[in-house]
Amino acid sequence: MNRLQSEIRRLYLPRAAEDTDADAASVIDARGATRALVLEVARQAGWEAVDRTWRGVQAELELPAPAVAVNGCDGFQLWFSLEEPVGTPDAQAFLDGLRRRFLADVAADRVRMMPSQAVAACVVHARPVPAEQTPPDRWSAFVAPDLAALFVDTPWLDFAPRSDGQADLLRSLKSIGREAFELVSARLGQAAHRARPPGTGSASAATGSASAAAARPTMPSDPEAFLRQVMQDDSVPLALRIEAARALLAHVGDRRAR
């Protein structure tokens, strides 16, 4: 095991993954919980929004600094480490609270929060960092916050980053303790509640939810149709559309091979 694998295991992998390869181990444990929370912002929103969030979680919320990464495709990521794993609903609530507090001026379709519940019990998470992306010769990588602005137009590396350099970037990072996570989650939840405009009580909220549900497109029951829908939806982040295209190719290939 090299230094980078050790740092990734320390910060993001399930405790039960101690005997597995850090490059292959999933960040989601057998119960569907995770210690890695990722907030991703498309580059069109600019590094300034990500930098504001990175600084804000430390100065305003008094949390440890998250790791900064370029996703190798279309934007930046903030990787938060937790001492204890949480389920997807708690992770999403925390990340959405951060989005509302620091990224309220960024279009919702420019922000992606992971883990997320995709279909039924399927939990979607960010791809490992560092890793080669598609097209080839584009790599995701952890980057120093003071150098991240250099990647605004090209949020990737043209070569595989040095593992020791990546480990150095992670070495000083700390995990968010359970108590701190719960306190900040509560603060963010209360702030979101106070921010609701008048008339959004239970009755009007229920009406709004019903209207939103009615307006939401029906999810196809056929996996292939669903993947095509995601791939062709311009409002879905490009990285997720690429993942859907990969899955669709694999699905069609398996079907033809039968």
pLDDT tens digits for range 53-98: 999 999 999 999 999 999 999 999 999 999 999 999 999 999 999 9
Beta-strand runs (E) in the chain: 34-42, 67-70, 75-86, 111-114, 116-119, 122-124, 131-132, 139-142
The pLDDT of residue 238: 61
Helix (H, G, I), strand (E, B) or coil at 94: helix
Q: Read off the pTM.
A: 0.74
Question: Average pLDDT in the 30-58 region?
Answer: 93
Q: What is the pLDDT of residues 172-223, one digit of tens each?
A: 999 999 999 999 999 999 876 666 555 544 444 443 434 333 433 444 556 6
More confident residue, 171 or 210: 171
Q: Within a 13 Å sphere around the CA of 169, how many CA atoms are in the beta-carbon half?
A: 22
Please state, rounded to an integer, the average pLDDT across all residues of the chain.
83
More confident residue, 231 or 258: 231
More confident residue, 232 or 235: 232
pLDDT > 50? residue 10: yes
- Asked whether 129 and 77 are in contact (CB, 8 A), the reply is yes
Whose CA is closest to 79, among 93, 95, 62, 60?
A: 95
> Per-residue confidence at 46, pLDDT binned at 50, 70, 90?
confident
Structure tokens at 155: 């949020």
- Asked whether 164 and 6 are in contact (CB, 8 A), the reply is no
pLDDT > 90? residue 171: yes
The pLDDT of residue 117: 76
Q: What is the pLDDT of residues 104-133, one digit of tens each?
A: 999 999 999 999 876 555 788 999 999 999
Question: Average pLDDT in the 23-29 region?
Answer: 79
More confident residue, 206 or 251: 251
